[in-house]
Amino acid sequence: MSPWLVELAGPPLGTRLVVCIPPAGGGAGRFGMLRPHLDTDIRLLGVQLPGREQRWHEEPVRTMAAAVAAIVPVLVPSLTVPYVLYGQSMGGLLGYELAHALSALARPPAALVLAAIRPPHLVTPDEARHAATDTQLRVALDAQLADPAFADDEDVAELLMTSLRADARLCANYRHDGERNLTCPVVGWAGRDDRAVTEEHMRGWRRYTRGPFQTAEMPGDHYFTQTHPERTALALQDPAIWAGRPADDGPDERSGNARLGLGHSGGEAW
């Protein structure tokens, strides 16, 4: 398999495919925790950008266009079954661009699921530059470190910071015209405790697709995929997503969780 993709378990000939795209500085391995909570027919692939995990020694990618150009040809052979693109934080921007490229090849996803990423028109150049400073990147790094022991390992921290810096530049230089030129369904998820990206921010993605659109809250903060993998996996298996018909939230001021059939339980969303 290409170094751009990581097999995260599941049957190679599964009847459904989830392609996961990690956040800034993150590797594909973080999505492996979804596996125990997914149906056995779902194959799980992770996109692996250079400069992290087993590709840590490679030069980071410099533009979204370069990443898309490298990923699409190695991903297309796996798209023989219905698939969902799942992009977390910065991975959402890359997922959005991949959805465009794959749709142009008549291989659109059943749905594009975006987690904890503001749409381009809600990020000013000043905000993007501020987010790319080392001070802010270190805050993001501390939030991502799963093992507190790494916090005192400056060699590991600097390796991770190198990836974060590269990805921050990638986001800061990203531009989009804001037209609704996607036609596939788009689903936007926000962590309930995420102060940086709220459900209201995620509703801004409505303008980027002419297809069905929906938002919902997830339990947890910006990295809810890792802190609540069972809820994330359950939501990724929602039949409405795979049928390409998530409810349009246009007339609804709330997230529409009930229409996903998952509702509320014990005071937590989904």
* Residues, the chain: 270
Residue at 112 is within a domain: yes
Q: Let me know if residue 135 belongs to a domain.
A: no
- Is residue 27 in a domain? yes
Looking at the domain assignment, is residue 10 inside a domain? yes
Q: pLDDT grade, residue 125 (50/70/90)?
A: low
**269 pLDDT higher than 60:** no
Spatial CA neighbour of 185 closest among 103, 73, 72 = 103
Looking at the structure of the chain, the number of domains it has is 1
Flag whether 67 is in a domain. yes
Residue 264 pLDDT more than 50? no
Which residue range(s) make up the domain with 249?
A: 5-124+179-269
What pTM, to 2 d.p., does this model score? 0.83
The CATH number for 74's domain is 3.40.50.1820
In a domain, 15, yes or no: yes
Q: Is the pLDDT of residue 150 over 50?
A: no
Q: Has residue 133 been placed in a domain? A: no
Q: Name the 3-class secondary structure at 140.
A: helix
**Angstrom distances, CA of residue 233 to CA of 18, 33, 34, 116, 173:** 10, 9, 6, 16, 32
Res 175: pLDDT? 80
Tell me: pLDDT of 113 over 70. yes
Confidence of residue 50 (pLDDT cuts 50, 70, 90): very high
